[in-house]
Structure 1
């Protein structure tokens, strides 16, 4: 396991990827739960085979990949199906994340996960950073980026831990509802702090 792990989280549309991209450019390894979640359901994977066996072939696109929108519609409408899917995928994702964290090699390592607190992944982290914006900004950004319906975005936000609870749990909070230059200055200062914490941990 890497010596010092920063848990990075933020709601949909908060700008978590912008932050992880910046820190990656500083030479920090990023282990991304979103990427791993896609890998465990790629064509030919055990995850995708189990999903097709459970839901049927209509859950696939014409190309044979997972139809995420169709799956999302099912699990938002049916709590039992959502639980079944989580029980299937979460252990696979967790095992892959831990393997990647163990092999990461940089001054500190980022575990980036939108559901860091909800899925108790923060227990693997030394500190946590929340990328924070108001809910109305999340909705506006995501609708513009994904061409999604506002109601669907609101459902996703409602299914996650509240903004207030995330703010209470996080060790550090980055305000991403400010001009890019100001946000990057705040992030650069945080990066410096994380390097110092990691170095102190190695001492």
Structure 2
């Protein structure tokens, strides 16, 4: 898909900012590793920020413990992330509460580290909820790691040892991939062939992305 310089939801500046997104278990981390390892690009990751924000002793972690108590607490006062996940994905109101707590802090972390990497020609911003939260406004282009829904469910079940019901809850908590495809500037098809995926990444970096 060709990039549109008049896109109202893109950040236009001298620095190339690639927003990397996709559904859960579609392969965002794999693409991020290619961009970082093979191409040497700085990668800023929303999931890493979220883990740091919810580390023991942080204000956000304490807010979660105050709300849910022992049901999400481990013996060392760390958060039981699996227990927290079961709560927030089963109850949309609780998920919205947690998002309201963490998303502004994650955006602050992106903004802070974009300043730190302001001399880099290209920076990658990885965010599963890039569109949902409006983080595409920080990016000059958005790449979607795409996968058919059946394979997405299969990979999620294998990766996170969830029940089918739990896995579907997590997938449904994000925008459908079909909706994200219409908004992405570049679509990377991830069918499990790492060599082919790396080739697609190289083509996208060179501005030779395939039509979506």
TM-score (norm 2): 0.86
Deviation at 1:32, TM superposition (A): 0.1
Q: Is this contact kept in 2: 1:2–1:109, CA < 8 A?
A: no
Shift of 1:2: 8.0
2:15–2:120 contact (8 Å) kept in structure 1: no
Corresponding residue pairs, total:
194
Determine if the alignment matches structure 1 residue 32 to structure 2 residue 45. yes
Tell me how far apart the structure 1 counterparts of residues 178 and 96 of structure 2 sit (CA, whole Å).
25
Gaps (5+ residues) in structure 2?
1-12
Does the 8 Å contact 2:90/2:169 carry over to 1?
Answer: no
Tell me, what secondary structure is at the counterpart of 1:118? helix
2:74 is the counterpart of 1:61:
yes
Which of 16, 22, 36 is 1:10 aligned to? 22
Q: Which stretch shifts more, 2-11 or 118-127? A: 2-11
Taking the TM superposition and a 5 Å limit, the aligned residue runs for 1:149-188 are 149-177=163-191, 179-188=193-202
Q: How does 1:1-203 map to 2 (within 5 A)?
A: 3-25=15-37, 26-104=39-117, 105-177=119-191, 179-193=193-207
Give how far 1:112 is off: 0.2
Deviation, 1:178, is: 5.2
Q: CA deviation at 1:64?
A: 2.0
| Rounded Cα–Cα distance in structure 2 between residues aligned with 1:57 and 1:110 | 37
What is the rounded CA distance, in whole Å, between the counterparts of 1:128 and 1:87 in structure 2? Answer: 23
Q: Normalization by structure 1: what TM-score?
A: 0.89
**Structure 1 counterpart of 2:10:** none
Structure with the largest fraction of helix = 1
Alpha-carbon distance, 1:184 to partner: 1.5
Q: How far apart in 2 are the matches of 1:2 and 1:154?
A: 40
CA RMSD of aligned residues (A): 1.7
Q: Distance in 2 between matches of 1:64 and 1:95?
A: 25
Indicate if the aligned counterparts of 1:9 and 1:114 stay in contact, CA closer than 8 A.
yes
Q: Which residue of 1 aligns with 2:7?
A: none
